[in-house]
Structure 1
Amino acid sequence: MGEVGAGSPSRLAVGGLVIDGAEIEERFVRSGGPGGQNVNKVATAVQLRFDVRHSQSLPVDVRARLERLAGRLVTREGVLVITAQRFRTQERNRQDALDRLMEWIRRALIVPRSRRPTRPSAAAVRNRLEAKRRRATLKARRREGSGEE
């Protein structure tokens, strides 16, 4: 299929977390897109795989958020797959894939604020009902003078 990358980072620091490089698997595959004849000879695209579900580097809540945020990029087994083939060289594609992984993790680190249910003020309720009454009256007047004889 492709060659497995030997140059995986030993550690990856993201927003206060340190991810062990052993948890990141890289595979180089042939790329589509720019590259001329080179594209048929050299495996420049990078397929980065990160097992979100079994990662020891991420807290449980971050793992769950990352799986939910990444959506289709996560397999049924909980592996995040990022394919980078934007550039002509392995190294730039590799860096692009790592940057995208770090961005996904950065987004998953943000704890969403819980929504606190609110109620409309008495004045807002009063104004809404008054506007409905005015509109109903206007429409009722139109019906009265429609001229059906």
Structure 2
Amino acid sequence: MAEPIHITRSLSIDPSEIEESFVRASGPGGQNINKVASAVQLRFNLAANTSLPEPVKRRVASLAGSRLTKDGVIVITANSHRDQPLNRADALERLVALLRAGVFVPKPRIATRPTLASKKRRLDKKTNRSVVKRMRSRPGDSD
């Protein structure tokens, strides 16, 4: 039995929940590219996963974006390396990074008002910029 993939200290996923398939990579590569399936397509069924809490699943689903299918499966394709084991490691690393990003709850933004000093600085910059532009024009235009 393979050991679990640790996301955080208290959270891990079972390697059997990850499905890998190997495809031919696109792009230039010479004689070897058409014969070797070095690209990796990693699939992780987020919807069917039982080890991740529901709030984490929701955050991961929103972070995954277009990598998440309608069925709730995250698909990660890695083909940056010419070597299959390196692409496998890269795809797994990207999945773990995505899951780690979903574990942390984002801090809610608290709306604040601009200070009086920042308003004054903004208006002073606008005035200075206006003077610079006015100085670029011909002398007889504004008078």
Same fold (TM over 0.5): yes
Quote the residue 2:35 is aligned against. 41
When the two structures are superposed, what TM-score results if normalisation uses the length of structure 1? 0.71
1:19-46 deviation line (CA, Å, top 9, x unaligned): 0111110001111235422211111110
Quote the residue 1:95 is aligned against. 89
Alpha carbons 1:34, 1:88 under 8 Å: kept: no
Quote the residue 1:30 is aligned against. 24
Root mean square deviation, CA, Å:
3.2
Identity of aligned residues (%): 49
When the two structures are superposed, what TM-score results if normalisation uses the length of structure 2? 0.74
Quote the residue 1:141 is aligned against. none
Alpha carbons 1:31, 1:44 under 8 Å: kept: yes
SS at match of 1:32: coil
1:92-144 deviation line (CA, Å, top 9, x unaligned): 100000000011011111101123344567x67x97xxx7xxx9xxxxxxxxx
Unpaired runs of at least 5, structure 2: 128-141
Q: State the aligned residue count.
A: 131
Quote the residue 1:61 is aligned against. 55
SS at match of 1:40: coil
**Structure 2 CA distance, aligned partners of 1:118 and 1:12?**
41
Name which of structure 1's ranges 33-42 and 91-100 shifts more when overlaid on structure 2: 33-42
Quote the residue 1:12 is aligned against. 5
Quote the residue 2:110 is aligned against. 116
The structure that has the greater radius of gyration is: 1
